[in-house]
Structures are given as C-alpha cells and as structure tokens.
Amino acid sequence: MNEKQFDKVKNGKGFIAALDQSGGSTPKALAAYGVNEDAYSNEDEMFTLVHDMRTRIITSSAFDAQHILGAILFEQTMDREIDGMYTADYLAEKKGIAPFLKIDKGLADEANGVQLMKPITDLDDTLKRANERHIFGTKMRSVIKEPNEEGIKAVVDQQFEVGKQIIAAGLVPIIEPEVDINSANKPACEELLKTELLNHLDQLKDDENVMLKLTIPTEANLYRELIKHPRVVRVVALSGGYSTDIANEKLKENEGLIASFSRALSQDLNANQSDDEFNDALGKAVQSIYEASI
C-alpha cells in the first residue's frame, strides 16, 4: 500500500471523483456528454470514446489534487493510457490523486429487497493486475431497496467477505451498499444498514481498514459512528441520481461525510464545448462539490 496516498485519502480535504461507468451505463454517460449511439458502431469504439471523455476530465486543469483526493476508474480505463502513461500512474504521478478501481461485475436479480453483487470470478487476477497498475484501492456496489433484515445482512456479509480478500492483496476496499434514493422506506433501510456495518467493522483486525461509500442519509449525521470508527479510512457519499445542487445541499448537512459523485460531477460537461468552456464547467462542479465536502 502507498502510505502517502493512504494519509492523503484519510486526512486530506477534498472528495473522490467517480469515473467508473461500466459497459451497461456507458451509452447513457456518453449520451449525457453529447455523444449519441450513432457516433460508434461497436463496443471497442464506444469504450474509446468514453476513455476520451475521461481523459479530457483527468487532464483538465480543474481536475487537481487541491480539490480531489482520489478517482475511481473502470477496468478498461485502468488498462488504457493517458499521454503515454497508464491511467493510474498519470493520476498518481502527474496529478497527485489516488487511483481506485471498480471491481464488481454488476448486480444480481433482486431478492429479499436487495441486489447482491454478481460473483467476481476473476478477483485474484484483477487484484494482481491492480497492483501491477499501481492502484490504491477498489470499489464494489450492491443495492438496498427495502428494509429487509435478511437481505441487508446478506449485502454486508458479501461486501466484507470480498473486502477482506482485497485487504489481503494490499489494497483498500471501498464498500458500497447503496440505498436506493427512491425507496419508500429509505430511513429504515439506513438504520438496518448502519447496524450491520458496525457489527462487521467491530470484527476487523487492527491492520484491516476499509472505506465506505453510502447514500446520503435521510437523517443528517446518521453515519457519525461509522465516520469515527477506527477501522474506517473515510466515508464517502454517492450522489444516487441527485443533481449537483441537491446532492451538495444534502451532503453539507452531514459532518465528516465527503462526496464521491459521478453524475453530479459531469452533468454540465459536453463533447462540443471548447476547452475553455469545458474547463470552466468542470471547475465550477469541482469547486461546489469540494465546498460541500469540507
């Protein structure tokens, strides 16, 4: 583990940028960026275009270590280059930003009010490659839709089981049990989730550390105990579909919680913008998210 990056992520001011749209969400992300499906004819061309978008974000002067602690990458982004360097090396060496990798393979069908992660059958190989590419940490997402104790326990059990494999590989896992912002019982889901997370955190050894990525809670400061837990490096918040303004306002209500936004970071960016227009739009988003995170 890179101790300098660990200290920055744990103690630094700023937020984690989520640049990890995968195969299923890539067309939607490109469309929001102004690149329609008629601009590519196959998956390779699609991923080249989305890498171009991410490259434009990462190389922008607005994307800097003064505001951004880390960036979460899609696996193909990890294997591609920016200015002749692997993306993670560019982030770390040129930008001073810790690189994370999305490792989950998507969601299983809903059962007991939740969606578990699909099996990560190539986890050992992915973690080996992540270390070769100088990745700092990983991210994996599950979804909670109903306050079902059995379902929520299964989500957290699975997350921590995989998380311990990631820790053993020398990386820091971001555990992400997202509570659907549209759930009619969102507060009840969050109470059950908090209890399960604390149970698992209390069982970690002194050298086992995790990050948590959670939906901004309905009750402000609900996750204070998680933020202060000695085994938690940082608790970050996903935007969950909220606009930048709404996500930022909700985030400000929660002391110690910082952003890890995707849509809220890029919603005003467009492929047809000039460099000045693009950098200005990105700079405004970065600044507003940063201010909500400190």
Name the residues annotated as catalytic.
Answer: 176, 213
| Element of type H or E holding 43 | helix 43-59
Phi, psi of 184 (to 5 degrees): -70, -20
Termini Cα distance of the chain: 26
> Is-contact 18 238, C-beta < 8 A?
yes
Distance, CA of 224 to CA of 210 (rounded, Å): 16
Torsion, Cα of 238, 239, 241, 247 (10° steps): 160
Angle at CA 190, nearest 5°, toward 187 and 194? Answer: 145
Which of 88-119 are b and which e, b meaning 16 or more Cβ less than 10 Å from the residue's Cβ? bebbbeebbbbbbbbbbbebeeeebbbbbbee
